[in-house]
A and B are shown apart, each in its own frame.
Chain A
Amino acid sequence: MNYFPDEVLEHVFDFITSHKDRNSVSLVCKSWYKIEKYSRQRVFIGNCYSISPERLIARFPGLKSLTLKGKPHFADFNLVPDDWGGFLYPWIKAMARSRIGLEELRLKRMVVSDESLELLSKSFPNFKSLVLVSCEGFTTDGLAAVAANCRLLRELDLQENEVEDHRGHWLSCFPENCTSLVLLNFACLKGEINLASLERLVARSPNLKSLRLNRAVPFDTLQRLLMRAPQLVDLGTGSYVHDPYSEAYNKLKAAIQSCNSIRSLSGFLEVAPRCMSAVYPVCENLTFLNLSYAAGLQSIELTKLIQYCRKLQRLWILDCIGDKGLGVVASTCKELQELRVFPSDPFDAGNAAVTEEGLVLVSAGCPKLNSLLYFCQQMTNAALITVAKNCTNFIRFRLCILDPIKPDPVTNQPLDEGFGAIVRSCKGLKRLSLSGLLTDQVFYYIGMHAKQLEMLSIAFAGDSDKGMLYVLNGCKKLRKLEIRDCPFGDAALLEDMGKYETMRSLWMSSCEVTLGACKTLAKKMPSLNVEIINESEQTEFNLEDRQKVDKMYLYRTVVGHRKDAPEFVWLL
Chain B
Amino acid sequence: MSSENGKLLPETDAGGLNFEATELTLGLPGESRVTSDGVAKLGSKRGFSETVDLSLGDNKNTNKFGQSQIDVPEAAKSPVSKAQVVGWPPVRGYAKRRTKSCKYVKVAVDGAPYLRKVDLEMYNTYQQLLTSLEDMFSCFTIRNYLSDKKLDQVNGIEYVPTYEDKDGDWMLVGDVPWQMFVESCKRLRLMKSSEAVGLAPRTPPKCSSAS
Contact = CB atoms under 8 A, between A and B. Distances in A.
Most buried by A among B43, B46, B66: B43
B99 A295 contact: yes
Interface in A291-346: 292-293, 295-296, 318, 342-346
A139 to B, nearest CB: 11
Interface stretch (A77-85, A169-177, A200-208, A230-238): A77-85
A248 interface: no
B43 A487 contact: yes
A76 interface: yes
Contacts of B11: 347-348
Interface in B92-117: 92-94, 96-99, 101-102
A318 B97 contact: yes
A550 interface: yes
A235 B135 CA distance: 35
A342 B97 contact: yes
Contacts of B209: 81-82
Contact of A485 (B22, B42, B46): B46
B183 to A, nearest CB: 10
A460 B122 contact: no
A292 B97 CA distance: 7
B181 interface: no
A484 interface: yes
Nearest to B121: A190
Contacts of A160: 92-93
A400 B92 CA distance: 13
B91 interface: yes
B45 A78 contact: no
B35 interface: yes
A400 B89 contact: yes
Nearest to B125: A164
Interface string B1-41: 11101010101011001000010101011000101000000
A191 B91 contact: no
Interface residues of B, number: 52
A344 B91 CA distance: 10
A284 interface: no
- Per DSSP, chain A at the interface is loop
Contacts of B85: 485
A407 B91 CA distance: 21
Contact of B99 (A269, A344, A404): A344
B137 interface: no
Contacts of B101: 215, 269-270, 293, 295-296
Contact of B14 (A134, A269, A296, A348): A348
B102 to A, nearest CB: 7
Interface string A501-520: 00000000011100000000
Contacts of B42: 463
Interface of A: 74, 76-79, 81-82, 134, 136, 160, 162, 164-165, 190-191, 215, 269-270, 292-293, 295-296, 318, 342-348, 350-351, 375, 400, 402-405, 407, 412-414, 433, 437, 457, 459-463, 484-487, 510-512, 535-536, 548, 550
6 contacts: A296-B99, A296-B101, A346-B91, A347-B82, A484-B87, A510-B46
Given A296-B99, A296-B101, 14 more contacts: A74-B87, A78-B86, A81-B5, A134-B92, A162-B1, A215-B102, A270-B101, A293-B97, A343-B97, A350-B22, A400-B89, A400-B90, A460-B47, A536-B66
